[in-house]
Chains A and B, each alone.
Chain A
């Protein structure tokens, strides 16, 4: 690790100001950034920790019925507190990494990083959630722009994520044996106006919506409704842990299982 300056602002405004300085990077839970810094693969001049900003933490139900999760909320809190309102989201959070990761890593950090194998992006996209930053609101469909790429601007901070609560939902994750990130994960959510299916871990473009399955499931919400449907292997990730064809197969299998398990 190289030397760096460290700041821990107490408000979003102070954080935004601190991030305006050259070579400054926001630090959420540090579950990706800190290991990269230890490997000397990343060398920010200043780390601006968001962990001291109380207004960015916590889970609550909004007046419009959506579930609000503060951008600085750790996974363990979502796992413990979101269950009453959005059990599929709480279940997803409870299976990210291990207890050490869940007690440091934050939803905002995960989304801003947009690792193609992360779990949270599938929940956000699959719920049609809104990502609220210090400057604007971004629809999930606009937010994710490919592997490790998002709509966030320089120094922009995720302060909140608003999840419309579905009638039924489930996240089905198949873990990569080494990292236990999602080799492929599918988030299915059934709303009054249709079904959303978001897939993580599989595509070279990062998290994506499987619209063909969404259309079929919006007609009939059952595993049988998507029997025979599949995503093309072309464009899926191929690596040590699975070929594109394998990942494409997992997308179908896990979607069916997610539908069957949704409640």
Chain B
């Protein structure tokens, strides 16, 4: 019987009532009395020197409050990077300044040059058109290989080149790697592009800054996944403000997918300008602006080589990647191709020798940073594509080849710095083979062929490192922040509970799932528990939501705080029943003395805590509120296996996904419905990457895919009904809930199975096509067949 409450139940998401009835409170819904509006004048060229900015005409335009340029921010810090990568020679990465408004140069289309604050948005925009900017065009640096070439134009004059870092992980001795490849019976080599994506959350970014002259308090309302991180970065590194005078509120947020982790110039600007103008200042991104100012994702160019012995055991893997940073280092950009990518290059396999090299490159494009999966999709895609290619080259079954090389003993120390605590990759693959009805594929292919279609089956495994992250480890690796989280469990006198969490929900369903955990622990109804998030003045210092971390890290803090609450409540109950603490049991919201019929209800204890007439005041304090910080001992390692079946129209190259099956091992699951939904959404985004999405610049650095007319987002009819199976469960060994995280799995696990399926379909039609770069648009598939 499925449970109807607590851990393992699937209550409907309580937050959906307000979202689906138009009662959400998004940042753009927030309007502050007297607010002015800012419009950013953005560069329309990719690379140019600023010879002069004349704002005099704009300043006299109707409604204009003030016009800002880079000069107004010369005494202010720039946008910081939160992770310092050390290169293969032990040197720190090259880290260029990233001013709030351009100083001296513009470095990508969309780089903000000036900002106009005016009474209305249209007035601000009118005035921005009256600003005269004298730009001297410089050559754009778009292609990464060209950017690294000798004599290439430099984007940042103070750096030695456009190379941010040249980084190596795993086996650093080239000779040993060369030897492993020389001794191999077979080497499969694949060159591929993991294309640049634009996250495109439904809600564009918004910031509203306010300043109270009387108290010198600032408030920033912003579309963020992590309000405390934004406050810390903005106060300590950008504006030099005391944190206790700044409140950051991230209310309802309409999707983040990583792109709302980062601290953006517009947030710092609105906060700064609120004081400078002595008026609240609001900015709402248009979709056009979002394309040229939200951090982009992916954008790797990779060569991967897989060595095998005569029995098809993987013996070595070498991968060389160029990773696009864009024009500046966004908040966590440097960590994505390194510690979130290189560390996953073992995949699910016991390859003994692995060498990962990543060269991060500055180009005159929008900064690139974490996007759903962040580094792990790029790792998974290469591994699972090269394995598929190897299986084809060797004439062996792709599932058998994977199974033969799976890691089967845990804990497992990979050659690339991680320790997988638990997993059952064969068991999960068994679930997939059943869910996907692999056995019935041949009949389905025959049926498709009758209708003139090519049918293909693609399989892949994946593993991710989630529950980000153990602070001591990431500190050694260059993180400039801790990655614990925090929760405060505040029990009210009447027994209801407010849980203040550092995690931020922007689609994940925390408001429903988190109470299920506390309700289970205490034995009271979920409706008595409310989650509070997204406001630094209300919540403890937590690090927010990304990297599939909320339940594994913040949820663990919530468990710890709830345990403290229960321990204290037992003391109060013991006092009320004149028993020993050790004899008190809590079940279904009732405290009882073991072996007796004495009991007190949860509500009696909580009331006593706040009305302490009969209370052990000499032993414990009144009240019932506890906080816990939780720093994980290791990453968590969700893993799974996906299967995709496609039909390809051989005349047009059009790919349609006929079946998609996912078997994921997320450890224990709190709300199966929400977990299914997270996987569905992730697969949708993965299918988007595989078939549709692609952010393209021309050689001059102009964004060709700058709107939905040319950037193809997945729509409902582009994706199939999914079959998901989450019954393969090896609980995480080091967090109290045994949970691993599920938010990114779908986006990590799905692109290789889609591409593997298309290649399989084309091969079945006699097309000797080894690889097609994503997105597998009809035109590209047709081109591959008619090359």
Q: Which residues of A are interface residues toward B (Cβ below 8 A)? A: 1-2, 39-40, 174, 177-179, 183, 240-243, 245-246, 249-250, 253
Contacts and interface: CB of A to CB of B under 8 A. Distances in A.
Given A1-B122, A253-B652, A178 B783 contact: no
A253 B649 CA distance: 11
Given A241-B779, A242-B777, 7 more contacts: A39-B288, A174-B652, A174-B654, A177-B692, A178-B713, A179-B710, A246-B778
A172 to B, nearest CB: 11
B521 interface: no
Interface in B621-673: 651-654
Given A177-B778, A253-B651, A240 B710 contact: yes
B704 A240 contact: yes
A246 B779 contact: yes
Contact of B712 (A178, A243, A246): A178
Contacts of A241: 710, 777, 779
B695 to A, nearest CB: 10
A39 to B, nearest CB: 7
What 3 A-B pairs are tightest by C-beta distance, nearest first?
A178-B712, A242-B779, A177-B712
B652 A177 contact: no
A39 B288 CA distance: 9
B782 interface: yes
Main secondary structure of the interface of A (DSSP, over half): loop
A32 B111 CA distance: 28
Contacts of B614: none
A178 B651 contact: no
Nearest to B708: A178
A148 B709 CA distance: 17
B709 A179 contact: yes
A178 B779 contact: no
B474 interface: no
Contacts of A240: 694, 696, 704-705, 710
Nearest to A250: B652
A178 B652 contact: no
A178 B710 contact: yes
Contacts of B653: 246
A250 B713 CA distance: 23
Nearest to B654: A174
Contacts of B710: 178-179, 240-241
Interface in B659-716: 691-692, 694, 696, 704-705, 708-713
A97 B692 CA distance: 18
A190 to B, nearest CB: 22
Contacts of B129: 40
A177 B651 contact: no
Given A240-B704, A243-B779, A178 B711 contact: yes
Given A177-B712, A179-B709, A243 B778 contact: no
Contacts of B125: 40
Nearest to B129: A40
B596 interface: no
A183 B777 CA distance: 12
Nearest to A38: B286
B160 interface: no
A40 B692 CA distance: 29
21 contacts: A40-B125, A174-B652, A174-B778, A177-B691, A177-B692, A177-B712, A177-B775, A177-B777, A178-B692, A178-B708, A178-B709, A179-B708, A179-B710, A240-B696, A240-B710, A241-B710, A242-B777, A242-B778, A246-B778, A246-B779, A249-B651
A40 B691 CA distance: 32
Contacts of A1: 122
B21 interface: no
A187 B394 CA distance: 47
B782 A246 contact: yes
B33 interface: no
Nearest to B692: A177
B786 interface: yes
B132 to A, nearest CB: 17
Interface in B285-305: 288
Nearest to A253: B651
A241 B691 CA distance: 12
Nearest to B653: A246
A39 B269 CA distance: 24
Contacts of A177: 691-692, 712, 775, 777-778
B521 to A, nearest CB: 47
A250 B782 CA distance: 10
Contacts of B694: 240
Interface string B186-207: 0000000000000000000000
A179 B708 CA distance: 6
